[in-house]
Amino acid sequence: MGSTYSVQYLRSAKGPVAAQVKAEVEGVLAEVDRQMSTYRSDSDIERFNELPANSCQSMPESVLQLVRVAEQFSRDSNGAFDLTVEPLLNLWGFGPQGRVEAVPSASALAQARKRVGYEHLRIQGTQLCKNAAVEVDFNSMAAGYAVDAIAARLGRLGIESFLVEVTGELKAVGRKADGSPWRIALEAPRDDQQLMQRLIALDGYGVSTSGDYRNYFEQDGQRYSHTFDARAGKPVAHGLASVTVVHSLAQMADGLSTLLLILGPERGREYAEKHGIAAFFVIRADTGLVTFSSSEFDRLFDGQKQ
């Protein structure tokens, strides 16, 4: 995925040696890469992306499952969340084929938008099909899926306490050797330095943060981030700087944090409350950074010592 991973775990006398654990973890990552990576031309999804309109391709169930979840997110957001935004990402300079980060011309944007739209995808048995030349990009969900897959593999190896991180998506299970919980620092959305916004203890939950403060460019005083509203064909333009989602599945936390960031502060908060999502929001305001959290987030973490 063009990024990094880390696994911390509590070893036991009867458990596997570190070399075996590493090999198992990297086997999981290699499989995800073969299926979902947009950084290699021979992955399942990139071979699908090269197909013309009115084509189908057999896909592993993991890919089809992500498409089903993403389709629901797209419907819930009236098309703002969309797996087929890769042509837009490339055009603006954020995608794997992007070259220059710059605001595109109106004509180039109009051409790219013709190749975007989740409604052009359908699942037919074990095949993924498209009726337009769309390209699927799993970067809003694949890392979370990888975290869950690694966590499941560690469980099968008999490892009961661990912290898994893939490209910044996390999942923690169990407790450390001293009995204390795994603690995760939520980062403040600052461009110039890393600061902790809040500290939370986790056991059995995945965590994902989506924000506009790591991958962006500025032109004529305007900030353009890598998070896109597919309906508009351009990066989101609102005051929501970051969203953190906590969910039992890291895959869901990954996708939902992107969805809520796209929706913005008002609609994102409404969606989180309606669906019982544990979410922590950070907004840029004239007075600085302002935070608020959903009822489910408060239920999970308000009793924890900071």
Give 208-219 pLDDT, tens digit per residue. Answer: 998 865 555 566
**Cβ atoms within 10 Å of 80's Cβ, excluding its own:** 19
Here the CATH number for the domain that contains residue 221 is 3.10.520.10
* In a domain? residue 201: yes
* In a domain? residue 131: no
* In a domain? residue 227: yes
Do residues 259 and 76 lie in contact, with contact meaning Cβ atoms separated by under 8 Å? Answer: yes
pLDDT of the residue at 241 = 86
Instruction: Say which amino acid occupies 85.
Output: V
Break the chain down into helix, strand, coil percent, rounded to 5.
35, 25, 40
Number of domains forming the structure of the chain:
1
pLDDT of the residue at 222 = 62
| HSE-CB for 123 with a 13 A CA cutoff | 15
Task: Name residue 187's beta-bridge partners.
Answer: 196
* In a domain? residue 28: no
* In a domain? residue 174: yes
pLDDT of the residue at 146 = 98
pLDDT of the residue at 233 = 75
pLDDT of the residue at 83 = 93
* In a domain? residue 132: no
pLDDT of the residue at 1 = 73
The domain of 197 spans 169-301
Q: What is the DSSP letter of 41?
A: T
Which are the contacts of 103, defined by CB distance < 8 A and separation ≥ 6? 92, 219, 224
pLDDT of the residue at 108 = 84
**Torsion angle of C-alpha atoms 132, 133, 139, 144, degrees rounded to 10:** 40
- Rounded CA-CA distance 304/306 in Å is 6
* In a domain? residue 189: yes
Which residues of the chain, if any, have pLDDT below 70?
Answer: 95-100, 188-196, 212-226, 305-306
Tens-digit pLDDT profile for residues 47-79:
999 999 999 999 999 999 999 999 999 999 999
CA-derived radius of gyration, the chain? 20
Q: Got the DSSP string for 145-157?
A: HHHHHHHHHHHHT
pLDDT of the residue at 225 = 65
* In a domain? residue 121: no
